[in-house]
Amino acid sequence: MGVDHGARRAIFLDRDGVVVAPLVRDGLPYPPACLADLEILPGVREALLRLRDAGFRLVLVTNQPDIARGTQRREVVDQINRQLVSELPLDDVRVCPHDDADRCRCRKPEPGMIEDASAEGRIDLAASYMIGDRWRDVEAGRRAGCRTVFIDRGYAEPAAIEPDLTVGSLPEAADWILSTEDSR
């Protein structure tokens, strides 16, 4: 099998805690409950523009288990994601509406959302990055064959896997990715 010279690089991004401010309760992050709660984190738009300008496809990959749990409606999740697409330079949005008990291939830490976006968008996973704020994000990126960046928000949960880099924000992650790419 030869190298696909038409393959693209991508940045896979978790939504809550990476792009959007999470609601933190008891040390754990939760997604915005409604559009009025949506807050794009500082510097996110500029960081995404820089990554897009460097040739990366930008793909949001988000677990939203509250849909399966019946505590959130799919329409609200879709409304929030549409708002993000209207405000940010995102190329694709992938949502896993399942909970762990569903044992689906799309719920992170499984790499299904990343693999599907890669297959449909001709993305070279080895030249791509997964950025997340939870161990599930890092594990999904690792399983898909991406380099991984962990945004440490200080949640009260263990990080079960070692990322390629740990930073405090998406702009810091973009700085590292762009400097890494420049040195290749």
- C-alpha 34/C-alpha 160 separation (Å) is 30
**CA atoms within 13 Å, Cβ hemisphere of 15:** 27
Catalytic site residue from 16, 92, 133, 137: 16
Catalytic site residue from 14, 66, 92, 137: 14
| Full DSSP string of 57-111 | EEEEEEE-THHHHTSS-HHHHHHHHHHHHHHS--SEEEEE---GGG--SSSTTS-
- C-alpha 63/C-alpha 95 separation (Å) is 6
Q: How far is CA 140 from CA 1, 4, 93, in A?
A: 25, 23, 16
Residue 124 annotated in active site: no
Under a CB-based contact definition with an 8 Å cutoff, are residues 118 and 89 in contact?
A: no
Q: Which residues pair with 128 in a beta bridge?
A: none
Residue 100 annotated in active site: no
Catalytic residue numbers, as ranges: 14, 16
